[in-house]
Structure 1
C-alpha cells in the first residue's frame, strides 16, 4: 500500500467529548483495505480533507476492534475545524498507520505506570485497553492523569471502569478544581507518592505536554524506575509522515518515522535543549 496515497474512510459515528474535543469513528469503504489494515497502540494516521489539508492524529481505539477505528481530536486550527463539522456518512482520506508505537512486549511481566496530561490521554487509550484485555500479562497498573481544569477530564466512565479492575489504580490531578473532583489539586507529579508499584520492576509510558513528561520522567527515575523503561510519545509538526520533509526532525531522528514513541535515553541528549 502506497503510504502517500490516502484511502477513503467513512464516518460511522461521532461523539462530542467536550466543547472543543470530539471523537470520530471511521471505517474504510474498501473492504480489502479494511481487511489488511492494522495498527499498534501509539501509532497515528494522517486525516485528509480535500481542498483543506491533512493533520496527524493519534489512534485512540482498541486495535482488536475490527469494525472501526477512532480518533479523538481537539479543535485548534483549519484542518481540525473542518474535521469537527463531519457527520456520519461523510467521507475523508486516511493515510497510515505511521510511526513506532508503544513497546508492548517490553511491558509484559512488569508494573506499568501510564502518565498522561491534558488530551495526552488519547494516544494511551488504545494502550490501556490493550493492557486491560490482557490483564494477566502485566503486574500492577497505575493510570495517572493530569488536566488543567477538572472539567477537562474526558471519559470519566471509562476511568471509573479501569479503576475497578484488579490491581489497577486511577489517580487524577487538576491544576484548577471546580465542583466535585475525585483527585487532587496540583501537578500530576504530586501523585507519584501515592503509587503502589515496584519501581525497580516498573515500566512507564507517557504522553502530554513535553514539560510535564520531562518532570514525570525525572520523578519516576528518582524513585528507582530505570531510564530505559520510560517511553514518551512526542508531538511535533508532522506533515509527510514518512521522514522525507524534515518538519518533525528531532536531532538525527524523525518523530513521524522513528517515533512518535521514544525511550528516555533516546531523547535525553536533546530534550533539555531550547529549540528541540
Structure 2
C-alpha cells in the first residue's frame, strides 16, 4: 500500500497568466502510479500541489480527464507556497497528492437544468463542471453560467467564454464589481446579475463557488428565487492540511471537509452550520 502522504512527481508543462496574480499550472505526472490515480478524477475533487523545499497547498482540480491527460491548477499568489509555485518555470518538478475529496454528483444531475455561479478564482472548481456538462450535452438541460470578479483583470478563463456562450442551450452572463476603460460589459455585484437573469428553480440545480461572503448572499438569493436547499451545491474551503481526515484542521462538527467534502448541498451544510 502506497504512503498517502508522499506526492507523485510531476513536471510543469505550461505556466500562463489567467488573471492578475493568478496563473494556470499544467502538470504532467511522470510515473504510471500517478497517472493511474488521476485517470478518472471527478469535477469538484482537489489535490495538493507542492513546491519542493517550500510546502504544499490544496487546489481544486481545474479540468477533467477527458479534456486533458495533464492536470491543471489555477493558483493565486497569496502566500509563501503559492509565490514559490508562481516562480517555477516550465520543466520544473512539482509534487501532487490526490485526487482527494468527494465530487459534484454529475450523474444525479442528469436531466436537470444547471445554473453555475462563480466569482474570481472560485470559478476554477466550476470549470470542470462546465466542461463535463458540455462534453455530455445531451445529458443535461439548459445551462446558465454567471461569471463574476471584482475587476475585469480578475476574470479567469476568459478565453473560453466564446466556447461556453456558443454551446447548445447555454447562456453566459459576466459581470465585474468595478469596470475599467476597456470594459464594455455588465458592472455590478454578482447577486445583482443573478437577480436580473432570474434563473428558474424548475427542474434545476444551482452550483456556486467563490469568496465565502459571495456564496452566502448568492445562496440567500437562490432561496428567494425558489431554489430548495437540496437544489443548491457549493464547495467549502477550510484550512485543509493532510487531506485524509487525520489532522482535524478542517473539521466542522463531525464532518471533515477534506474527506466528507469539499462538495456539499446546502441542505447538508445546514445540518452543521446553522448560520450558513
SS at match of 1:199: coil
Please give the alpha-carbon distance, in whole angstroms, between the structure 1 residues aligned to 2:34 and 2:154: 36
1:244-255 paired onto structure 2 within 5 Å: 244-255=246-257
Write the deviation string for residues 141-188 of structure 1: whole angstroms up to 9, x where unpaired: 111112111221122220122011111111112111113435422211
SS at match of 1:116: strand
Aligned length: 274
TM-score (norm 2): 0.93
- 1:269 is displaced (CA, Å) by 4.5
Gaps of 5+ in 2: none
Contact preservation (8 Å) 1:111, 1:140: yes
1:178-193 paired onto structure 2 within 5 Å: 178-193=180-195
Which of 185, 194, 197 aligns to 1:195? It is 197
**1:109 alignment partner in structure 2:** 111
**1:143 alignment partner in structure 2:** 145
- 1:123 is displaced (CA, Å) by 0.7
Contact preservation (8 Å) 2:100, 2:258: yes
Please give the alpha-carbon distance, in whole angstroms, between the structure 1 residues aligned to 2:262 and 2:33: 28
Gaps of 5+ in 1: none
1:156-235 paired onto structure 2 within 5 Å: 156-195=158-197, 197-235=199-237
Please identify which structure carries the higher helix content.
1
Is the counterpart of residue 61 in structure 1 residue 63 in structure 2?
yes
Is the counterpart of residue 28 in structure 1 residue 8 in structure 2?
no
Could you say what the CA RMSD is over the residues aligned between the two structures, in angstroms?
Answer: 1.7
Q: Return 68-77 or 146-155, whichever deviates more.
A: 146-155
- 1:245 is displaced (CA, Å) by 0.6
Contact preservation (8 Å) 1:149, 1:176: yes
- 1:60 is displaced (CA, Å) by 0.5
Please give the alpha-carbon distance, in whole angstroms, between the structure 2 residues aligned to 1:144 and 1:65: 22
Q: Return 163-172 or 193-202, whichever deviates more.
A: 193-202
Is the counterpart of residue 125 in structure 1 residue 142 in structure 2?
no
Please give the alpha-carbon distance, in whole angstroms, between the structure 2 residues aligned to 1:160 and 1:180: 18
Please give the alpha-carbon distance, in whole angstroms, between the structure 1 residues aligned to 2:113 and 2:182: 30
- 1:65 is displaced (CA, Å) by 3.6
Q: Return 42-51 or 178-187, whichever deviates more.
A: 178-187
**1:10 alignment partner in structure 2:** 11
Contact preservation (8 Å) 1:111, 1:197: no
Please give the alpha-carbon distance, in whole angstroms, between the structure 1 residues aligned to 2:29 and 2:58: 17
Runs of 4+ residues over 6 Å off in structure 1:
none
Is the counterpart of residue 264 in structure 1 residue 253 in structure 2?
no
Please give the alpha-carbon distance, in whole angstroms, between the structure 1 residues aligned to 2:153 and 2:68: 32
Contact preservation (8 Å) 1:172, 1:182: no
**1:44 alignment partner in structure 2:** 46
TM-score (norm 1): 0.93
Please give the alpha-carbon distance, in whole angstroms, between the structure 2 residues aligned to 1:136 and 1:175: 34
Q: Return 189-198 or 39-48, whichever deviates more.
A: 189-198
